[in-house]
Amino acid sequence: MTKLFCALGLHPNLKLVILSSLPDPIQVAVNQALQTRNRDILQITIGELQQEVFIALEDICNRREIFKDYLHGDKIIDKACDDSYLKHKCTKDQFCDCHTKKMKYFKRHSFPRNTSRRKKRVKPQWRYLKKKKRKSIKSDHCFICNQKWHFSKNCPKNKQAKKMAQMIRQSGIKIQKEDDIESVCSIEDKPSNSTICAIPFQFPIYSKPITIIAFIDTGAAETIMNPDVLPPEWWKPHKNEDINPTKASHQGMNPDHLLLAKQECQELQQQDLIEPSDSQWACEAFYVNKRSEQIRGKLILVINYQPLNYFLQNDKFPLPNKDLLFSSLAKARVFSKFDLKVGFWKLGILPDDRLKTGFCIPNRHFQWKVMPFGLKIAPSLFQKVMIKVFHPLMKNALVYIDDILLYSRDEESHAELLEDFKSLVHKYGIMLSERKMLINKSEIEFLGMDIKDGRYSPGPHIAQKLLKFPSKNLSFKQTQQFVGIVNYLRNFIPKVSKYLNLLTKILKKNPPLWSSSQTRAVQRLKELTKDLPPLQILADGKRIL
């Protein structure tokens, strides 16, 4: 293929011809791989195209081998119960386990209606001197298990063997051709010494209760068996030692960030906020440069506590709804906004739980003495504390985690509100950010919305984020981010669901390929978000349907 491409003059359009000459499954796999990486076939080299074809071919072959092994395992399972007592003889030379066909032992002989053509048998001489044989013998035994009072079609062993084969399929046990089925699974009531695994079909009613594993405190997994409910002999204490989500390792930082991280950790240690740690818990720390950091003019150290959050219990204190917060600002004309500085650090951590907050930078390992940023329970716990602290001002204040908005109808009442706010801040020792502080303003930005004269509209920086996205062939992550921003602005965009339905199809399982309809939806949403009209804040609890 490479030689032919070179002989024809290395024209880029020949790449499409080469790809179209391949089988259809390989074409689809190569196109999906290029779309996932957001690359065009005309931009890649012929060597990269050849490598993508080989990868797709290997993937298809591996899938074929997996299905082949799976089907081969089913054939072995079907032969697992190939015992004599499980087979019904349907014909002379054929055996099967079909229960719909009558067995030979219960088969009745039928004769033709016209019996005149039948040849008469010659009665042998001295027949009265011989003992007559009985034509049929009635039996009350099952010929499968040799037990009384049931027939073979209702034999419990037959049903038990079929259940065993069904349980093997559901359990996913892979039976090889050379394996002996009786050495892997047993259909007897009690397993023998040679049985590796006995599959139970049903649990007895009076079986022993199963121990319950629950997460206590900040994630230590222990058994909490209540001695008042169960007797002491059933109370088996258990502690899960393998609950460390990460290793104490780091991917590395660039020299500037590493120097900044060492200085910041040294300052935090001098402020008695962190301490050196020997904990088995360690989450990675790194720097980000988002819009809030750009306004602050300083990078902030972020810790990825996602592995630890997996073991933490959720706090059920509800966070306020942003749309409902603005409903109380219909008659507000004077505003003041405050942002708490390191508000989470006002919440302490018990000494026994500090080991779980461990974080690492290259060649350093620390743990927190106060509540760090990044824990999933931190916003709810901090919101609960802020509501208690500013409870006297809640009629004229909006509190959303560490953002506080004071509002009034006139400047006189707003001055009194600021005095009350000042006393509460001094009383509880709350630190405020000077750069984000805005006092006595007629127009203000709060939670990404510009508020003025009983109306609110999204900030211009949100629409600028949408314009940075490409208009076609968005990746899965880009589509998620684009849809998330549009959902934040959906109250300002008319008929937004018409365009979002086309984009959410890309986020579903087995998504379709990117088409021109998705491209038009992205372009239309960008046009609609360039000039969004403000919305009137409804008073008296009214809502827009």
- Report the run of H or E that residue 283 belongs to, with start and end: strand 283-288
Query: What is the rounded CA–CA span in Å between residue 340 and residue 381?
Result: 15
Best CA proximity match to 433, nearest among 289, 298, 329:
298
Residue linked to tokens 């060492």: 262
Query: What is the rounded CA–CA span in Å between residue 215 and residue 315?
Result: 13
Amino acid code (one letter) for 445: E
Query: What is the rounded CA–CA span in Å between residue 297 and residue 287?
Result: 13
SS3 520: helix
Structure tokens given for 227: 């001695």
* CB half-sphere exposure, 338, CA atoms < 13 A: 18
Query: What is the rounded CA–CA span in Å between residue 223 and residue 236?
Result: 8
- Report the run of H or E that residue 480 belongs to, with start and end: helix 476-488
Catalytic hit among 69, 217, 352, 453: 217
Question: Is 217 annotated in the active site?
Answer: yes
Instruction: Write out the DSSP string of 362-375.
Output: TTEEEEESBPPTT-
Residue linked to tokens 């019904």: 88
Contact between 310 and 301 under an 8 Å Cβ cutoff? The reply is no
Best CA proximity match to 463, nearest among 397, 530, 521:
530
Structure tokens given for 52: 């993508």
- Give the 3-state secondary structure of 292-305: HHHHHCCCEEEECC
Contact between 512 and 28 under an 8 Å Cβ cutoff? The reply is no
Beta-carbon contacts of residue 315 (< 8 Å; ≥ 6 apart): 377, 380, 381, 384
Query: What is the rounded CA–CA span in Å between residue 368 and residue 283?
Result: 12
CB burial of residue 315 (10 Å; 0-12, 13-18, 19+):
middle
Amino acid code (one letter) for 334: V
Query: What is the rounded CA–CA span in Å between residue 241 and residue 237?
Result: 13
Structure tokens given for 430: 């709350």
Structure tokens given for 440: 């006595």
Query: What is the rounded CA–CA span in Å between residue 12 and residue 224?
Result: 67
Long-range Cβ contact pairs of 514-519 (< 8 A, separation 24 or more): 514/35, 514/472, 514/473, 514/474, 518/472, 518/474, 519/471, 519/472
Radius of gyration of the chain from its Cα atoms, rounded to whole angstroms: 38
Active site residues: 217
